[in-house]
Chain A
Amino acid sequence: MDQARPGRDVLDRSLRTSWIVAGALALTLASTQPYDALALLAGEVISTLHFIFLRKIVKLFTEKRGGLALAIIGKVLVVYGGLFALMTWDKIRYAPLCAGFAIPFAVLFLKSMQLAFGAGPASLTRRAKGAMLILAVVGASALATTAHAQTSGPAQKEHSAAQAASAQAAPAASHEAATELPNWLVLLHDFNPGNAVIGWLEKNQIIVFAWIAGLLFLFVSWLAMRKPKMVPGPFQNAVEWMVESLEDVAGGLLGSHIERHFPIIGALFFYILTINLLGIIPGMKSATSSLDLTLALALITFLYVQFWGIRNLGIVGYLDHLAGSPRDAIGWMMLPVMLPVHILGELAKPVSLSCRLFGNIFGEDTLIVVFVSATALCLKAGLTALAVPPMAGITALFMMLQTLTSIVQALIFSLLATVYLYMMLPHEEHAPEEAHASH
């Protein structure tokens, strides 16, 4: 027997395991939703084919043998064509198809993690135990789904009738998909639906929470610097430490310009940080989970950078910078191409800044909403053992992660603003060895 190739071995074993899992899931679903079971198996087939073709392509590529193009064309036709054909068949739903497609990936991921932590292929007795466990879980879930299908038949009808009635009664209330946790403004509005002031505040809650964060930021700064002492107290010391650390990082890049530009960089960092951290408090909301606010912040940065660009380089120098500093005939000939390229590059900066901040914070918020809803659903279904330790624990972990993301995103936003400013400022008085910003 030739030398075992770990990569291939893991892939083979993962595919085998994924087929066992997919088969078990399909058997569970087969009695109630045969088309979903079929979609799951179809997804599994396509995914297996994807891995087989991928392995073939990698092998042909590394061994530099012929037939690479054929393998690639075959993969595109079979895997993507197959997926497309399955998706156009209207009896197959996307969710089970995607689940089937994802099973081998998930199994491969778990197996690789297992390998990374030093666990090799399990012994036969352990495998037998694992197989028994899987069989028991599948059997139990199959029983549960059939029982659920039998009991929920009439209940579902009642439910749909009630839904239809409520949809007729209140059409606005029918689309209640929870995309965010209710904050105190939403709750206030729910209890006083007729109040015009609360209605206005609820409608403009992003602005309200941005104000709250701003006021909080001002209050904390005022509190820290109310009576500044030479030997600072603990609170003043903490705030000074934060400001000085940021000044060090930004100053490494901007050099002597930092004194002039630190107010806006620091304000951006601490303002975004306050807004982000506000979202962790229950009943509050991160205003940065709205693209409007992040775009406004990015536009402020953009205008500030352009203003300093014009002020430092002069109008002519600024236009020269935008045109790519043409100095010879080729440069002037490239002008019609380079000018739009430079303008587009400048425009991409604020958009990417705002999209990143919005995406990260919104994603974190949505993640927490999903897990809180899952916990609530578990509690509603009477599964307290599943709801409290694992689900609530995961939510708490994600909240810790949110704290970290809040700080990192605020830092990235302000540091990128610094970098964009640095690109616009004259660099002569700024030796390269000074640039030791710690990234």
Chain B
Amino acid sequence: MLTSIPFILALAPLIGLAIGLYLDRHFRTKPWLGIVFCVLGFVAGVRETIKIVKLSQLED
């Protein structure tokens, strides 16, 4: 289960970036939403990681 941490950490900002760039193209706000969503994705990744670590500690 802990092995999913690197995937989550690496992929969450990328997903955020993809969503941000898509929204940027719609609202013509390049590159701001891309940056904001990338950072939010990173925060989400860290949050998920903390959740996973807590859960694995609970199991131990």
A interface residue numbers (CB < 8 A to B): 252-253, 337, 340-342, 344-345, 347-349, 351-353, 355-356, 412, 415-416, 419, 422-423, 432, 435-437, 439
Tell me the complex Cα distance, A140–B4, Å.
48
Q: Which residue of A lies closest to B56 (CB)?
A: A439
B residues with a Cβ closer than 8 A to A are 1-4, 7-8, 11-12, 15-16, 19, 37, 40-41, 43-45, 47-48, 51-52, 55-56, 58-59
B10 to chain A: closest residue by CB: A352
B40 touches A348 (CB 8 A): no
- Contact assessment for B15 and A436 in the assembled complex, using a CB-CB cutoff below 8 Å: no
B44 to chain A, nearest CB (A): 4
Q: A351-B11, A412-B3 are in contact. Are A344 and B59 (CB under 8 A)?
A: no
**Could you tell me if B40 and A419 are in contact, using CB atoms closer than 8 angstroms?**
no
Shortest Cβ-Cβ A-B pairs, 7 listed: A352-B7, A344-B44, A345-B44, A348-B12, A341-B44, A345-B48, A344-B41
Count CB-based A-B contacts (< 8 Å): 70
Is B48 within 8 A of A340, CB to CB? no
A341–B4 CA distance with the chains assembled, in angstroms: 18
Is A352 within 8 A of B8, CB to CB?
Answer: yes
Q: Can you list 13 A-B pairs, Cβ within 8 angstroms, ordered by A? A: A337-B40, A344-B40, A344-B41, A345-B48, A348-B15, A348-B48, A351-B15, A352-B4, A352-B8, A353-B4, A412-B4, A415-B1, A432-B58
Q: Are B11 and A348 in contact (CB under 8 A)?
A: yes
Task: Indicate which residue in A337, A351, A356, A436 contacts B59 across the interface (CB closer than 8 Å).
Answer: A436
| Residue pair B48, A439 in contact (C-beta under 8 Å) | no
Q: Which of B3, B41, B48 has the most CB of A within 10 A?
A: B48
Give the shortest distance, in Å, between B23 (CB) and chain A (any CB).
Answer: 11
Chain A residues with Cβ under 8 A from B15's Cβ?
Answer: 344, 347-348, 351
Residues of chain B within 8 A (CB-CB) of A422 are 55
Cross-chain contact of A423 among B7, B12, B41, B51 (Cβ < 8 A): B51
Known: A355-B7, A356-B7. 14 other contacts (CB 8 A): A253-B59, A340-B37, A344-B19, A344-B37, A345-B47, A345-B48, A348-B12, A349-B8, A351-B11, A412-B1, A422-B55, A432-B58, A435-B58, A439-B56
Q: A415 to B52: give the CA distance in the assembly, Å.
A: 13
Q: Which of A253, A347, A356, A432 has the most CB of B within 10 A?
A: A347
Query: Closest approach, in angstroms, between the C-beta of B4 and any C-beta of chain A?
Result: 6
Residues of A within 8 A of B16 (CB): 340, 344
Q: Is the interface of A mostly helix, strand, loop or mixed?
A: helix
Chain A residues, CB < 8 A from B4: 352-353, 356, 412, 416
Nearest residue (CB) in A for B55 is A419
Residues of B within 8 A of A436 (CB): 59
Chain B, Cβ-Cβ closest to A345: B44
Give Cα A407–Cα B4 distance, bound, in whole angstroms.
Answer: 17
- Which residues from A are CB-within-8-Å of B55? 419, 422-423
- CA distance in complex: A416, B48 (Å): 13
Are A341 and B7 in touch, CB under 8 angstroms? no
Q: How far is the CB of B53 from chain A (nearest CB, A)?
A: 12
Contacts of B3 in A (CB 8 A): 356, 412
Which residue from chain B places its CB closest to the CB of A415 in the assembled complex? B1
Shortest beta-carbon distance from B41 to chain A in Å: 5
In this complex, what residue of A is CB-closest to B52? A419
Give complex CA distance A87, B41 in Å.
33
- For residue A257, give the distance in angstroms from its CB to the closest CB of chain B: 16
Q: Is A348 a contact of B1 with CB atoms below 8 Å?
A: no
Q: Considering the chains assembled together, what is the distance between the CA atoms of A344 and B37 in angstroms?
A: 9
Which residues on B sit within 8 Å (CB–CB) of A423? 51, 55
Assess whether A348 is in contact with B45, with CB atoms less than 8 Å apart: yes
Q: Closest CB-CB distance, A356 to chain B, in whole Å?
A: 5
